[in-house]
Structure 1
Amino acid sequence: MEFSIILMIIGILCIVVSFFLRDSSKKLEQDIEDLSISIYQETNSLKKRLKIIEEELLLESNFTVKPKATNKSSIQAYKQAAQVAQSKQVNPANNTQQINEILISQVIQLNKQGYPVDEISKMSTLSKEQILSILNNGGNR
């Protein structure tokens, strides 16, 4: 009978001790759940930002980023962008402002790269006076 009493006491002590010990698996499950929720939220916010940027740049959703171009290829890229923008004109009243903004940004970028007004005029469809006006106004209308 002494042996059974000792086993009962040990059992009761184990039960009491188990109430005071924390379950580490529940904390781990909670941490994983919090991590997955935060990743989901960040992914959604990045998707929203990307969609806004695509809309601002008037790009399709299958847009791919190309490696950085050299100076000559960047000039060609500017020319191609201007041609594409002009070829996509549906309503001239709506697209004139967009094309002008594209040309303005091209002129400013080419000027920052050190190209003289004559070369910028040759690369774009603008006259020297228009280019000087853009550069004097800093791109503002």
Structure 2
Amino acid sequence: MEYIILTLLLLSAIVFIFSFLRKDRLAELEQEIEQLSLSYMQDIYQLKKKISVLEEELLFQESPEYSDAFPAAIKEKSSVHEIIKNQVLALYRQGLSIERIAHQSNLQPNEIISIIDENQQKERPI
């Protein structure tokens, strides 16, 4: 009986020492998951940076200051704008009030006044 207890104590000591020497698989999995999450976060950050750069480029190209980037689109916008200007001037010549013209053309009254002033400056001989 003493031999059995002594053998069991020796066996438990060996298993106890072996448990410290054995690799912890859970720690390895945690490290792998952490590395994956870090790499995903880096990828997401890089994608967000690229998207913001692309958005800035699109805004840069669409701004009216840079009409060479999309001349057809800007010419189309300016032709619509010219049509609205002509409509505003025609309504003004008919004697409509600025508020009424603004309501019909969906423009602000200060825009209506600037269109009228611009046209009057063009018509004046220098």
SS of corresponding position for 1:22:
coil
Structure 1 position 10 matched with structure 2 position 30: no
Q: Which residue of 2 aligns with 1:102?
A: 70
| TM, length-normalised to structure 2 | 0.51
Which structure's CA Rg is the greater one?
A: 2
Q: Which residue of 1 aligns with 2:84?
A: none
Q: Which residue of 2 aligns with 1:43?
A: 44
More helix by share: 2
Q: Mind listing any 5+ residue stretches in structure 2 that lack a counterpart?
A: 79-126
Q: Which residue of 2 aligns with 1:24?
A: 25
Count of aligned pairs between the two proteins: 74
Q: Distance in 2 between matches of 1:102 and 1:12?
A: 80
CA RMSD of aligned residues (A): 2.6
**Worse-matched range after superposition: 23-32 or 10-19:** 10-19
Q: Distance in 2 between matches of 1:23 and 1:40?
A: 26
Q: CA deviation at 1:3?
A: 1.5
Q: Deviations over 1:48-97 (max 9, x none)?
A: 110011001108xxxxxxxxxxxxxxxxxxxxxxxxx6xx74xxxxx1xx
Q: CA deviation at 1:29?
A: 0.3
| Deviation beyond 2 Å, 4+ runs, structure 1 | none
Q: Distance in 1 between matches of 2:8 and 2:55?
A: 72
Q: CA deviation at 1:35?
A: 0.3
